[in-house]
Structure 1
């Protein structure tokens, strides 16, 4: 498919996703702008991201540190970048230095990376960085994230012990085949109840990032405030040796 055709398809797909988000939000008694759509551009070229940007979208996500470091400087500064997934402590400094418009890290899965982020944010004197704690709701060994029973402890560490980070909520990946996502989503919602009780936060101040291309409508209906949509907008991913 020609590049122009692919780009046009991405813009059309974005509009369709936003319509589906609006409908799912209405079903759950909310408005479309109560749900953030992170367009996850993993493996996709800057030219394609730019087309979606030109269509009016501003929130994009990446899963690989090297990719976001390469792409962000080539794109407008008003993009709100999200780093999604496991972040290694030794890559924190390069990530924050290269992407001053990093809006959120989804998500922190251990105290070491939280402490490193906190320290580097302070060192470079940027505004506090919003972070989500990643919870492994499916219990898969291959997935990053804390056990649901440990989410309160990590959330408390971030909120109380990391003054340069802004604890903003919880995120989960869910099962790859989407067969058990209702239970995954329910687990994350229950984690939010426990975290908000422990931290004396209002639940509407604690985001839930759950739902991807195959299940974002169900996630929204079950309370998600942040969905991460990649292939449904940009098309199938083209995997290479990314790190």
Structure 2
């Protein structure tokens, strides 16, 4: 039984290290640590390990896969601020929202179709307004979800003007093939925010930038990220099931 306990202690220690690194990066960017949200991404990890991070005082978590999310969330405290950060299929929208009443934000809205499905599902379930981020494909890879930077304004405009049950809250990017990013990726998302805020009359401070993950979050924060998604650096390597 020693191994799980060791993993849990390691994860809590890793979380504390991440928080310190976030603080340093925020200070280098001229901001406070409180200006940057750390989203702990528990993809492929058991609810028991997520609970250890919760017990250490963390409250913001995310998942990538709908079915794993639906299975895991009910096992965990109701005051968690959940984010969904994976690719979302329209036929799974309502089941996700119904199963996770404390879902606070969907960071991966990449089409008007998904925005419309989310808007209708929030209304039909009688939920409070759901925060969403528009996902932008800043690396130009066909394998990555997200709108082209040239299309982010139209999608943001659609959410803001045509989806009354959604709250447009900012922009998100994943980055390069190995899930690291470069200054160009971050700069592209920052430029999108400038254009969106100017066109829609949104104060910059009310338009989040979700960019930066385990391998690049410090650089992302230094370039203006308000939301970093940290998985393996906190929880350890992903544990994907073996295919038979």
TM over 0.5: yes
1:199 corresponds in structure 2 to 200
1:160 corresponds in structure 2 to 161
Q: How does 1:202-217 map to 2 (within 5 A)?
A: 202-217=203-218
Distance 1:178 1:118, change over 3 A: closer
Indicate if the aligned counterparts of 2:180 and 2:213 stay in contact, CA closer than 8 A: no
CA distance in 2, matches of 1:51, 1:204: 32
1:63 corresponds in structure 2 to 64
How far residue 71 of structure 1 moved from its aligned partner, in angstroms, is 0.6
How far residue 176 of structure 1 moved from its aligned partner, in angstroms, is 3.2
CA distance in 2, matches of 1:77, 1:43: 20
CA deviation vs aligned residue, 1:73-107 (integer Å, no higher than 9, x gap): 00000001100021110000100000000010011
CA distance in 2, matches of 1:130, 1:178: 24
Distance 1:67 1:179, change over 3 A: closer
CA distance in 2, matches of 1:108, 1:39: 19
1:236 corresponds in structure 2 to 237
2:40 corresponds in structure 1 to 39
The answer to whether residue 130 in structure 2 is matched with residue 129 in structure 1 is yes
CA distance in 2, matches of 1:130, 1:159: 11
Distance 1:110 1:76, change over 3 A: same
CA deviation vs aligned residue, 1:10-64 (integer Å, no higher than 9, x gap): 0000000000000000000000010000000000001100000000000000000
State TM-score, norm by structure 2: 0.97
How far residue 141 of structure 1 moved from its aligned partner, in angstroms, is 0.5
CA distance in 2, matches of 1:168, 1:161: 15
1:94 corresponds in structure 2 to 95
Unaligned residue ranges in structure 1 (runs of 5+): none
CA distance in 2, matches of 1:9, 1:180: 26
Distance 1:239 1:124, change over 3 A: same
CA distance in 2, matches of 1:180, 1:37: 17
State TM-score, norm by structure 1: 0.97
CA distance in 2, matches of 1:31, 1:216: 15
Indicate if the aligned counterparts of 2:181 and 2:216 stay in contact, CA closer than 8 A: no
1:148 corresponds in structure 2 to 149
CA distance in 1, matches of 2:223, 2:238: 27
How far residue 241 of structure 1 moved from its aligned partner, in angstroms, is 7.2
Runs of 4 or more consecutive aligned structure 1 residues displaced over 2 Å after TM superposition: 176-180
- Note the aligned Cα RMSD (angstroms): 1.2
Q: Give the secondary structure class of the aligned counterpart of 1:138.
A: coil
CA distance in 1, matches of 2:34, 2:180: 28
CA distance in 2, matches of 1:72, 1:177: 28
